[in-house]
Structure 1
Amino acid sequence: MTGDLSRTVADLVQRVGKARGALLMGLDGVPIEHAAPGAGADLESLAGEYAGPLRQAQTLAAELDLGAAKGFSVRAASHQVVFVFASGDLILGVDAGATGLCGQMRHALAQARGQLGEL
């Protein structure tokens, strides 16, 4: 199963243009699998720093009766990151350059979330 998780995360990097890295993490911010081409991104720091805001997004959606949170994205001057909430406490994320396509990132993450559901 670990090989399947690794393959799913590695495929994310391949499917997203300008991807600096992809990861599967727990809601606690601990990376389970990650893939970064070349120097890539510091995915462990990314997971740790975004764990709090991701939990807050889930809590806020529940408190406002919006239904379950599906994703979270941040667009900054030098890069963008998109996360989707997968099954249980799992979160998939992709970090891309500033010119990466957010729609492409969301589509690739939705496909990867489906693959996780099949495991």
Structure 2
Amino acid sequence: MRLDVSTDAHGPLFDGRAQRLANAYVDHLERTLAEEGRTILLAELDRVLKTQTPYYTTRIKVENGRAITDSRVAYGPWLAGIGSRNYPVTRFKGYDHWIKTRHRLNERKRGIGERLLRRYTGRM
């Protein structure tokens, strides 16, 4: 007895559409999380800075679609509390705006990711 089996593989998993959509999802998620983190960081700075000057806040940007940076402003490490001029050299211990931003973004990332994923799974 002889048995021949043939299959026909077609659809998003086989023609590369699912892979392209998965890559697009990851890119979109990284950009969205970075922008959300920038928004959180600016809100934290607004909360802790007593004297608002726009120089530092206008330098906070999302680079390469995934990294939040203060564009290497000279006094950025001092504000964050990791500079050489912070406590014990001076009384100023710095603000925890970067740390709080990381924690708040980590709390929100799952919901953001799930909302975005719904847009992509229907097309996969």
TM bracket, shorter-chain basis: under 0.3
Q: Indicate the structure (1 or 2) with the bigger Cα radius of gyration.
A: 2
Structure with the larger strand share: 1
TM-score by length of 1: 0.27
User: What TM-score, normalized by structure 2, do the two folds share?
Assistant: 0.27
